[in-house]
Amino acid sequence: MIAAYDRLLASIGSRADEIGDRPVVTHWPHVGSAYRGLVIVGQAVYGWDDDFPASHFQTQAGRDEGIALFRERVDKPEPLDWIETHKVRTSPFWRAVRRVAEALERDLDTPWYARFAWVNLFPAAPERPPGNPGGALREAQDPHVGSLLRAVTDMLDARRVIAVCGPFWWPAAGPAGLADLPEQPRPLLRAGRSGGRTWVVGWHPNGASHRGFGPAAYRRRPAVPSVVGSRAACSRRSATRGRAGRTACSSRP
């Protein structure tokens, strides 16, 4: 995973002149303490600390420094505990994430934010002001986000991946080996099995809310109940915390 991340940052560094002086913020996977295979993929980080100019990633030393800092930020027992008191907890995205985590990992006696790993499809975004990646910053990531997503889900030994990233999904689908997932009713886009895990891809909840879909829509569509059923294959007691910041389960569905 680190190698894939390094390639993405190097690509950003190679476009530094076009990206300009606006700082770039980068997101590292956040893995809850009770994680046992549920990965939720957002579109891109929006507003974050530890920003760098794109030119910082032109050298190996700069990329190594950045990756070390990004990893240090999540090196704590509960990297998502901040969400409980942050104002963004009421946003469409985080309300949908909470619904999904509570539905798919309902038998865990832990806070909802401890039950999943949070990943962003496009891990680098502009800051000051925050926004979604566009222009050269997005173009620099397009060729890499699919392989990075595959590397991240492999590292996490993901069992179910819920990707709510809307049209940002399409550059990743082919390189991630997911272009042939069956189409689904909106607000979902695609869903199916690939690489030994279940994938559900849909609109970002912010975009879905503008079209009249609330958080519950991600659980009521036909593809998602089959994902819920797979959770029984991995019991809470069979999960053990690994050094890589993930859990490994003794059995697979």
Structure tokens at 39: 């990965």
% of the chain surpassing 70 pLDDT: 84
pLDDT greater at residue 97 or residue 204: 97
* 8 Å CB contact between 92 and 208: yes
Helix axes 145-155, 2-14, angle to 10 degrees: 160
Determine the average pLDDT of the residues in 147-172.
95
d(CA 28, CA 68): 10
* 8 Å CB contact between 208 and 188: no
**Residue with structure tokens 């689908």?**
173
pLDDT tens-place string over residues 194-222: 999 999 999 888 777 777 776 666 655 54
Structure tokens at 177: 């080996």
pLDDT greater at residue 17 or residue 205: 17
pLDDT tens-place string over residues 178-194: 999 999 988 889 999 99
Determine the average pLDDT of the residues in 20-48.
94
pLDDT above 60 for 119:
yes
Four-point Cα dihedral 225, 102, 83, 81, nearest 10: -120
- Mean of pLDDT over the chain: 85
